[in-house]
Structure 1
Amino acid sequence: MNKERLMVEENRGGTHLDHDPRGLKHRNSQKNHVSIDECNGATISNLDIKAPAKSPNTDGIDISASTNLRIHDCLVATGDDCIAIKAGTSNVQISNIACGPGHGISIGSLGEGGGRDEVEGISITNSKFTRTENGVRIKTWQGGSGFAKNITFSGITFVAADNPIIIDQNYCPHQKCAAKSSAVKISDVKYSGLHGTSIGKKATIDFSCSNTVPCTNIVMDDVNIESADPRHHSTTAHCTNAHGTAHAVHPPVNCLINH
């Protein structure tokens, strides 16, 4: 749908994360359940999207080349990203999403094949991730260009998420990827009020940024993620080439300045 207003709001009072939405139900799509492309001014709410946890490429909502969107009060349980935000997207407000199982909410991947991609003005708030493979993630390919900026994650709850917080400027799902110096610039990313538990044996908070185009102005405030199984593993953070500030963050992120 191009430059039209899409509204799916049977329940204008909103929904609760612990109850099924009362709008449209999507079941077991062979690929993406909902795709939004070249759309301006859409409101999407009260969707109930489900597919098996191991079903590949069954993204809940995919967004590309779109602007001025509101997505709220949805339940998404699939085998891939609950919501994926891709190139050319700006000014998107996402709130009250129950995500899991699935790969969490991803910005990207961006810059594939040396392309220039741009994403900005994304807000993800008041959402819950239950047993997701990832939580909130930004992923970009080496060799690309462009930017991902002005991104806010706030009021997020993790329940036994595997990899809750990720920035990956070296994204490569293949076994081998050639090292390249250029990268999509990631800046002005804020994490505020993120709490919960992780089951991951890898880093709970993982900022893997480019040597040549580092992540800048990463702000973390009131972030506390504990191990869901403290007898067998603890939460950890990995941080490379990320610059910014941290306040009241656990596990501590060593390359951000504490204040």
Structure 2
Amino acid sequence: MCNATEGIPHMSIPKGKIFLLQPVQFSGPCKSNKVLVEVGGIIVAPTNIQAWNDEKEKWISFANIDGLTINGGGQIDGQGSVWWNACTDKALHFHNCNGLQLSKLRHLNSPKNHISISSSNRVYISNLHIFAPEKSPNTDGIDISRSSNVSVLNTVMETGDDCIAINGGSSYIKISGIACGPGHGISIGSLGKNGAYETVEEIQVSNCSFTGTQNAARIKTWQGGSGYARKIIFERIRLINSEHPIIIDQNYDPNSLKPGSKSAVKMSDVTFRDVRGTSADEIAIDLVCSDSVGCTNIVLENIDIRSTIPGKRTYSRCNNAHGTAKETNPIVPCLSQ
């Protein structure tokens, strides 16, 4: 397919057909600046672990292919239940695929992450339905790392882990129109694991709903790491029985390092605006910043998060968080002084 020199190279999975696909990698660069893959039918992964041979990190991967479009209204079934207690990784992986467009597909039961995007620029993802059971481990919907100018729009995600995770090296990410739940919400990070230097900036998450999720809008960084997470906006967020609606955790897995670490990923210029709905936990706003570095210019505006239980109050919790809060329920004293 990559050797075609005329027209747009085209691979089709016909509607009404089911294809059993062994682990496969499509590698470029391609001679054409556009490549089309139409998935009209159903692609299924092997359920026999032995059939995967030595390839247990990726099921379907695309590398170094620019101008790749995958659509067609079909289904990708990772049949992942056999893997959920084993060591495996991504179902659909894109590395260095600039100009990627991914739309109108149903993706379910990944062995681990459903879709992984790395080292790519100008990525457009829309109108997907991603599903895995609530108790399935590590079945992230979409993971983004070391990528920029990525849009994820108008997608339904029901997963056992993060609906979307935005990891180190990512910038100019737009997330909008996501219906998440069950799952662990939309997360920035985790960043700075094992003392790593990592950065994330210019992230916009808007017009998203979270139903029965463990978290909603979350930023998580490890003690001992370095770098920064900045210029992040969560706005027009709707919550139904979300356990931790707003959470900043600058001490993610705090027992992993010795107490008193002086290093942390710097967090600044983070805004939560127009966040409304119900919380399953009494701590609806949780801003846990590190003692050594802290968080600066944290802005909360027009927040109204009430308890799922009628008549019960919600509260906020802060540690070394600095910024402003305006028209928030619950009140956030550390930002309101």
Alignment correspondent of 2:324: 245
Deviations 1:73-125 (A, max 9, x none): 00000000000000000000000000000000000000000010000000000
Instruction: Return the offset for 1:194.
Output: 0.5
C-alpha distance in 2, partners of 1:142/1:185? 10
Q: Does 1:55 align with 2:136?
A: yes
State how 1:161-176 maps to structure 2 within 5 Å: 161-172=242-253
Which deviates further from its counterpart, 149-158 or 192-201? 192-201
Q: Does 1:68 align with 2:158?
A: no
State the distance in 2 between where 1:186 and 1:2 align: 33
Matches within 5 A, 1:97-246: 97-172=178-253, 177-179=257-259, 180-201=261-282, 203-231=283-311, 233-246=312-325
C-alpha distance in 2, partners of 1:3/1:215?
A: 39
Pair 1:4-2:84 in alignment: no
Separation of aligned partners in 2, 1:215 and 1:7 = 40
Q: 1:176 to 1:34 in 2, by over 3 A?
A: closer
- TM-score, normalising length: structure 1: 0.90
Cα drift, residue 178 of structure 1: 2.2
Instruction: Give the 3-state SS of the residue equivalent to 1:59 in structure 2.
Output: coil
CA contact (8 A) 2:71 2:105 kept: no
Partner in structure 2 of residue 256 of structure 1: 335
1:214 Cα deviation after fit? 1.1
Identity over the aligned pairs, expressed in percent?
A: 51
Q: How many Å separate the matches in 1 of 2:303 and 2:70?
A: 33
Tell me, what secondary structure is at the counterpart of 2:104? Answer: coil
Q: Which has the larger radius of gyration?
A: 2
Which residue identity is paired with 2:331? P
RMSD value, Cα:
1.7
CA distance, structure 1, for counterparts of residue 232 and residue 292 of structure 2: 21
Maintained 8 Å contact 1:4/1:42: no
Alpha carbons 1:143, 1:182 under 8 Å: kept: yes
The CA deviation at 1:212 is 1.6
Give the match for residue 16 of structure 1: none
Secondary structure class of the residue paired with 2:291: coil
CA deviation after TM superposition for structure 1 residue 32, in Å:
0.3
Q: Distance in 2 between matches of 1:9 and 1:25?
A: 10
The match for 1:93 is: 174
The separation in 2 between residues aligned to 1:75 and 1:8, in whole angstroms, is: 18
**Cα shift readout 1:177-199 (whole Å, capped 9, x = no counterpart):** 42212100000001111100011
The answer to which structure has the higher helix fraction is 2
Paired residue secondary structure (2:293) = coil
**Deviation by residue 1:186-237 (Cα, 9 ceiling, x = unmatched):** 0000111110001114x11000001121100011110110001034x42110
Q: Please say if residues 224 and 257 of structure 2, whose CA atoms lie closer than 8 Å, have aligned partners that are also in contact.
A: no
1:93 partner amino acid: K
CA shift digits 1:112-168 (9 cap, x unpaired): 000100000000000000000001100000000000000000000000000000000
In structure 1, distance between residues paired with 2:239 and 2:69: 29
Work out the CA distance in 2 between the residues paired with 1:94 and 1:189: 15
Distance in structure 1 (CA, Å) of the matches to 2:134 and 2:276 = 24
